[in-house]
Amino acid sequence: MATRGISRRKLLRGAAAGLGVALLAACKPETIEKVVKETVEVEKIVKETIVVTEEVEKEVTRVVEKQVTTEVIKVVEKPKVAFATGGDFLDQRWEADDVKGVPFEDLNAWMGTTYQVREVIDAKYDAVYMDWGWAEALDQKQRAALAAGNVPCLFYGEVFMPDYANSGLLEPLPDDIVEKIHPKFVLRGKDDGVAYGIARNGLAFLLMYNEDLINNVGLDGSKPPTTWDEWLDMSNAISAEGKGEFYGGGVACHPHSGGALRTAPILRSNFGDFGADGRPTINTPQNVEAFEFIRAMAPNGPVEQITAADEGPLNTAFFAGKTGFMYGVSGDVQRARTQQGNPFNASLTPIPVAPDGQAASIMLGVTFFAVPKQAPNIEAGMDFIRAMVNAVEGSRKFIEMGWATGVKEAYYDAEARKKAPPQTEVMLDLIDTGNAEPLPSFAKNSAQVWDVIHQTLVKVCISKDAVKDILDEAQKEAESYLV
């Protein structure tokens, strides 16, 4: 295990070297000449002769104010900054057919708020926006930048961002930003409770189901499952009828964060989770019961799809009408109902609940934006986040599209909720009540702990070993990274 740690550090340093000197230069202020119009007040002295009486004339001096506008060349400082932001902010994204030339009011929620952020930032800074990918690849690049001391003015990411906050890598956010954000969209340090980042939007998973397929096998598509037992029975029945042509659908156990995001709601429904208070809790009795259910569902996946590294085949199967159940969000339902060639009636329902359990889900798509403590221009990073908050505060499109928004004023807007797709209120309620928290983080070496968990998900589905033995082994290995 020590060897893996050394090799990871070498990897980060090597990747950091590839970032080059350009990023450092990008965040250094530069001066530019700018022609500006300047209006100044000047005083002009005039003499007037005033007749006091018919016999007496008096000469007086009066000051007359006059405004004069002139063009002058000023040398102004417009700092050149670099932000790691993701693809929506890149210049080439704005040249795409779905964006170029589209009136502002017709842009979707993401591009509309992105446009407003860029408008504010580009007026003040000579900004470079960078897309460093997603998930593990993004984490590696940002850690590489930290290791090299070659850091942009903004970081972004999802499941690994709590580790940054807990490791002292991020700059605390000012109160004027934090007070506008829904608590579930604020990234806080585990120990100090300090706010280090915010997210502009997010979702919580619900269970998506193919009503047509359920009806075709003799079940009632208008009555989706509400408990684990009902879900297992319906999924088994669909798979049995499908005879390998179609399946009921299992709980996806992909060996990466996609699998953790889909299994966590099952654990939480049974009052378990992958971790608590910075430590792994993989082998609790609650989790053993939850993973027993996940294993029982696995043949309905089918197994080769729900354990694959690529999520694509599982999604393709559902939208081809070959799977009864799959986690989804409102946009997925719209896609199923309107797709060309094979539209079908898809709907959403809360994820079924464990015996004597609780309703639960997981927050996803929660991209946190934060300012690295090593950023060469911390003010620029804060300006970016502040511009994003202001843009989202003035938009209701996220809610109307069935997404949750990170800004409280928009999140609780009653009129926007009326325009939202069905089940949006259910999702928002899950987020509000705390049963849809993001994935937990760990006190140290989160990446290694999560790697253990990801491999465990696959073992549960494909191994014949006792679930408890698998979880006990995983717990022991995960704890070794916290020593």
- Is the Cβ–Cβ distance between 124 and 194 less than 8 Å? no
Distance CA 206, CA 363 (A): 10
pLDDT the model gives residue 301: 92
Biggest CA–CA distance in the chain, Å, is 122
Query: Around 271, how many Cα atoms within 13 Å sit in the side-chain half-sphere?
Result: 6
Which pTM was predicted? 0.78
> CA 318, CA 324: separation in Å to the nearest integer?
7
* pLDDT means over runs of 10, the chain (483 residues): 34 42 49 62 60 58 63 74 94 84 86 94 94 91 95 93 92 97 94 94 95 96 97 97 96 94 97 94 98 97 94 94 94 89 93 96 93 97 97 93 94 95 90 88 88 97 97 98 92
Could you give the CA distance from residue 218 to residue 356 in angstroms, rounded to a whole number?
29
Report the alpha-carbon angle 13-14-15, nearest 5: 90
Cα 148 to Cα 12: distance, rounded to the nearest angstrom: 8
Q: State the Cα–Cα distance between residues 416 and 396, nearest whole angstrom.
A: 6
- Second CATH level (architecture) for the domain 206-360+444-480: 3-Layer(aba) Sandwich (3.40)
Triad 135, 266, 287: Cα angle to 5°: 100
DSSP per-residue string spanning 286-320: HHHHHHHHHHHHGGGS-HHHHT-S-SHHHHHHHHT
Tell me the sheet residues that pair with 404: 202
The whole-number pLDDT of residue 58 equals 60
Backbone φ, ψ for residue 146 (5° rounding): -65, -45
Does the fold of domain 206-360+444-480 match that of domain 2-24+79-203+365-433? yes
Dihedral (Cα; 195, 178, 261, 282), 10-degree rounding: 30
Domain ranges of the chain: 2-24+79-203+365-433, 33-76, 206-360+444-480
Q: Which pLDDT does position 96 carry in this prediction? A: 84
How far, CA to CA in Å, does 16 sit from each of 90, 241, 437? 21, 54, 32
d(CA 100, CA 163): 37
Which of 116, 26, 117 shows the shortest CA–CA distance to 79?
Answer: 26
Closest CA to 281 of 464, 123, 483, 479: 479
Contact (Cβ atoms closer than 8 angstroms) between residue 209 and residue 202: no
Q: What CATH number should be reported for the domain whose range is 2-24+79-203+365-433?
A: 3.40.190.10
- In the prediction, which pLDDT does 351 show? 96
| Cβ 424 vs Cβ 417: under 8 Å | yes
Tokens matching residue 348: 């959403």
Picking from 249, 267, 457, 471, the residue whose alpha carbon sits closest to that of residue 362 is 267
pLDDT score recorded for residue 9: 37
SS3 271: coil
Over the range 168-204, which residues count as b (16 or more CB within 10 Å of their CB) and which as e? ebbbbbeeebbebbbebbbbbbeeeeebbbbbbbbbb
